[in-house]
Structure formats: structure tokens, C-alpha cells
Amino acid sequence: MNKFQFELMTWKEIEAVVTECKGIAILPVGAVEEHGPHNPVGTDSIETYAIGLRAAQQTSTVILPLVWFGNSRSLMDFPGSIGIRPEVLKDYLHDIILSLIKHGFHHPILLDGHSGNYGALDILIEDIMLETGVKTVHVRAWDLASIAKPTETPVYDGHGGLSETSAMLYLAPESVDMPAMQNCAPEADLSIYGSAFPVPSSLYAKGPAIFPMWMGELARDGHHGDPRLATAERGEALINVKAAALIEFITLLKDGAIHFRSSPSGLGDPQ
């Protein structure tokens, strides 16, 4: 393959590449939302596409155009956030995936870079399986792999903090407002039972009682952590390790190493 970006290929090229891709196509889904006063609103989308493109290039698969917008409704108290209803996002992605399946891509991968999308996309892949027999895979980009954080990283680090800022310093340094960086500690106590949805940091992901939260109820400046600890070098390492994990997964998928008792020939074979 000499092309990996779906939108740059002709229909003849796409027809021919399905077999070489083993039916795998990566559909990156991000979000447009505030990430503190220092990061651009496209942070989730930019990072997700970078991971997916590297994996597509290294595994001879294709990546579709980025779906920029996601379920960012809980961040609508900050300017720049675009909130898509989960049912609208789900229906939109449903039609994209059905189109891919029709053309022979029986191993669609939803590469998701935003935790607010998780619930809707998990339901979507079940719907697709029930409707077509194809097992679409929902890959949570930020859960693929990571690297150790500096010892001085605050326990509440998360949304717009060390890791995301590092990635943006690597991918789009001109878009990061360095003078605006400051430590931002969350100011909510949900008790040992409470969790926030969407989850902005590990600090609010532990309890069984889930609260829907505005970002502004949790943190004054809309981010969790101290982005001043971020470096472009750390960002490069993060993107590399996540892309490497996705490459490993796609390789296993292409090699037929992932299968189930009822479909020994591979994951996602239509019934």
C-alpha cells in the first residue's frame, strides 16, 4: 500500500485494498471541547488521529477521515465546547460503519479519544453485531498504553493535564499557550462512593455512585493537574507507545489471532 488515508483514495483503490487490509478500517472519533486555558479545543481529536494514522501506516490498513465532534455536553459551561447528543453521534457512526461493512470492511475499528463517547460507542458496537453479525471493535485510545508519570505529578492529574498537554506540545506546539499554564486542583468531594461522568481524572473514577458533572463544578479552569510539568519529549513517547499498542492489536487481528468459539476464522466475520 502506498496510501493509507481513505479520503485520498479512489473507489478503485479502496475496492482493491480491502483484501490487503484484511477488512480492517480505522475510524477515529474525537471531540471538540475545552482543555484548560492552555490547550486547543481540538486536543482529543488531534491526538487520536495521530495515533490512528501511525498505526494505519505501520500495518498497511486504512484510516478514515476524523470525526471531530463527540459527546462533550458536560463541558458546555466553557466556551468552545461542542456537545453532540449521544444518540446523534451513535446514529452517525452507525451509518459510517454500515457503509464500510457493505464494501467489505468486516473488521471496523472505532478509535475513540474521548471518555464522553464511551457509553454511546459501546452500545453502538453491540447494535452493529446484532444487526449484521460483524464485531466492530471500540478501542479507547488513551487506555491503549502509557508511560510513568513524574513523581511530582498531582494525584488529580487528568483532563488537560500532564499527558494531554505533553502530547499537544509534541503534535502542535504552536497551539499551546505556555504562559496560561497553571496548576488546577479539583474542588469537589464526591465521597468514597462517588464517581463523575465523564471521568476527568482517576481521582473521580473509583466509586460506584456516578454523578453527571459539569466540568466547572469540578475544576475552576477546566483542567485537572499541572500542565507546567508537560514536555514535548513526554508527548512523543506517549503517542509512540499508544500507536505501538494499536499496531500490535491490529497485527493480531490481521493474523487471525483473535477469534471466538463460534467463529474460528477470526473476529468479526459476518454470520
Give me the architecture of the 6-254 domain, per CATH.
3-Layer(aba) Sandwich (3.40)
One digit per residue, the tens of pLDDT, for the chain of length 271 reads: 789 999 999 999 999 999 999 999 999 999 999 999 999 999 999 999 999 999 999 999 999 999 999 999 999 999 999 999 999 999 999 999 999 999 999 999 999 999 999 999 999 999 999 999 999 999 999 999 999 999 999 999 999 999 999 999 999 999 999 999 999 999 999 999 999 998 999 999 989 999 999 999 999 999 999 999 999 999 999 999 999 999 999 999 999 999 887 754 555 454 4
Residue identified by cell 479519544 is: 113
Q: What pLDDT is attached to residue 77?
A: 97
Residue with cell 479520503: 7
Q: Are 71 and 85 in contact (CB under 8 A)?
A: yes
Largest Cα–Cα distance in the chain? 57
CA dihedral for 170, 39, 147, 197, sign (positive or negative):
negative
Tell me the domain boundaries of the chain.
Answer: 6-254
AA letter at 39? N
Torsion of CA 184, 119, 148, 177, to 10 degrees: -40
pLDDT score, position 268: 46
- By the 8 A CB rule, do 65 and 29 touch? no
**Residue 138 β-bridge partners:** 110
Residues 39, 80: contact at Cβ < 8 Å? Answer: no
